Amino acid sequence: MRLDSLLRYAGFILAFAVLAIPFLGLPGLADIVFRTCTLAIIAISWNMMAGAGLISLGHSGFWGIGAYTAALCANHLGIAFLPSLFCGLISGALIGVGLALVTGRLRGIYFAIATLAMSEGFRIIAIMLPDLTGGAQGEYLKSTLFPGTQFVYIVASCGAVCAAAVSWLVSRSRYHYAFRAMRANEQAAQMVGINPMRYRLTIMALSGALASFAGAINVWNGGYLDPNVAFNLHTTLMAQIAPILGGIYTIAGPILGALAAMGLGEGTRLWLGQIEGVSLLIFGVTLVACVLYLPKGIYGGLERYYASRMRPVYGNRADLKDPKP
């Protein structure tokens, strides 16, 4: 079986498992799956933008905007769980569109810095508007609107499966070529008739919506939000560690990376958590080792393993040199 079809089957099984786990009534496992799902969503979102040559250092901005929109809609307007998620998603898409318009043709490191500044800007705005956001004290979600932990988990699972489906659909459409061409060289892409701004708007709206959805559902799980939690650099870092670990520019990469990063993080925390700092040390060292020895991520490593195993066998060399009549 080829690697891609193998991964497709694995993907279906994984999607089924992710959708089924919240129903099993195992709170510990369900919590880990929930966090893996949100990580996978934001990783897919980051990878989508990276695939069009837009390296973001501001995904915590989208995440936080989604979280604040959902929380404020619920608290101030009394909007229920599912509609508030939708509001979060829309706000993320709008921020994505705004960012695309503001950054214009910025590329590479300049674009990355602009996104970083955006996320920091949002954090400061959230602190400066205590009447609206609760300021540095933070905001608790109204518990009357809480739909129950299990339902939140189920929606998160559905969201992760949908995000994976969206990234797969994009990779099957002809837009996929436009994004890859823009990643290679935006001017050359324009010279074959691709309007870079149109595709930037599309991909950043889509990516922003996904990341904000993850932030919004996360706030419903936690129930509390303050600017430093919402716009945390850690979110931005995890959003890119997962795809890079799993295999950047691939569909399976961010999902494999989210599984691996979460497994590694939880594993070291459970087994080595007693000794202060060791779990983080191991996490970091493993990441460095992965970047050194799996430069194309887990997906690239699997590909290489498959290529070496699937190489046709011609028999031994002695036969080739001296063919028997």
Partner 1 sequence: MSELLALSNIHAGYGDSTVLQDLSITVNTGELVCLIGANGAGKSTTTRVLTGLLKPWQGEVRFEGSSIDNIEAHDRVNLGISLAPEGRRVFPSLSVNENLLLGSYAPRARSMRNSTLSEMYDLFPKLSLRRNQQAGSMSGGEQQMLAIARALMARPKLLVLDEPSLGLAPKIIIDVYQAIVQTAKQGVSILFVEQNVHAALSIAHRGYVLANGHITLAGSAAELRESKTVQESFLAPRRKRPEEALLGNKQITQAHNEVLK
Positions in 75-104 near partner 1 (CB under 8 A)? none
Positions in 46-65 near partner 1 (CB under 8 A)? none
**Which C-beta is closer to partner 1: that of 35 or that of 180?**
180
Which of 9, 177, 224, 271 is the binder for partner 1 (CB under 8 A)?
177
Which of 13, 17, 184, 281 is the binder for partner 1 (CB under 8 A)?
184
Cα 117 to Cα 129: distance, rounded to the nearest angstrom: 18
Least distance in Å: CB of 200 to partner 1?
A: 12
Q: Which stretch binds partner 1 (CB under 8 A): 68-76, 172-180, 200-208, 283-291?
A: 172-180
Cα 195 to Cα 103: distance, rounded to the nearest angstrom: 15
Q: How many CA atoms lie within 13 A of 224 on its CB side?
A: 5
User: How many residues of this chain interact with partner 1, rule: CB under 8 A?
Assistant: 17
**CA 104 centroid distance within chain:** 24
222: left (phi over 0), alpha (psi -120 to 50) or beta: alpha
**Which C-beta is closer to partner 1: that of 129 or that of 191?**
191
Cα 249 to Cα 211: distance, rounded to the nearest angstrom: 17
The candidate with the shortest Cα–Cα distance to 70, out of 179, 15, 145, 166, is 145
Q: Are 152 and 220 in contact (CB under 8 A)?
A: yes
Cα 133 to Cα 126: distance, rounded to the nearest angstrom: 6
**Location of structure tokens 């559905």:** 158
Task: Kindly state whether residue 173 participates in binding partner 1, applying the rule CB under 8 A.
Answer: no
Which of 129, 188, 280, 281 is the binder for partner 1 (CB under 8 A)?
188
Which of 156, 178, 238, 261 is the binder for partner 1 (CB under 8 A)?
178
Task: Kindly state whether residue 180 participates in binding partner 1, applying the rule CB under 8 A.
Answer: yes
Q: Which stretch binds partner 1 (CB under 8 A): 108-116, 163-171, 175-183, 296-304?
A: 175-183
Task: Kindly state whether residue 181 participates in binding partner 1, applying the rule CB under 8 A.
Answer: yes
Cα 301 to Cα 293: distance, rounded to the nearest angstrom: 9
Task: Kindly state whether residue 172 participates in binding partner 1, applying the rule CB under 8 A.
Answer: no
Least distance in Å: CB of 241 to partner 1?
A: 23
Task: Kindly state whether residue 150 participates in binding partner 1, applying the rule CB under 8 A.
Answer: no
Positions in 189-248 near partner 1 (CB under 8 A)? 189-196
Q: Across 106-161, where does the E strand assignment appear?
A: 139-140
| Position 267, amino acid | G
Instruction: Return phi, psi of residue 140, to 5°.
Output: -100, 140
**Which C-beta is closer to partner 1: that of 161 or that of 194?**
194
- DSSP state, 312? P
Task: Kindly state whether residue 307 participates in binding partner 1, applying the rule CB under 8 A.
Answer: no
**Which C-beta is closer to partner 1: that of 35 or that of 183?**
183
| Residues engaged in binding partner 1 (CB under 8 A) | 177-178, 180-181, 183-185, 187-196
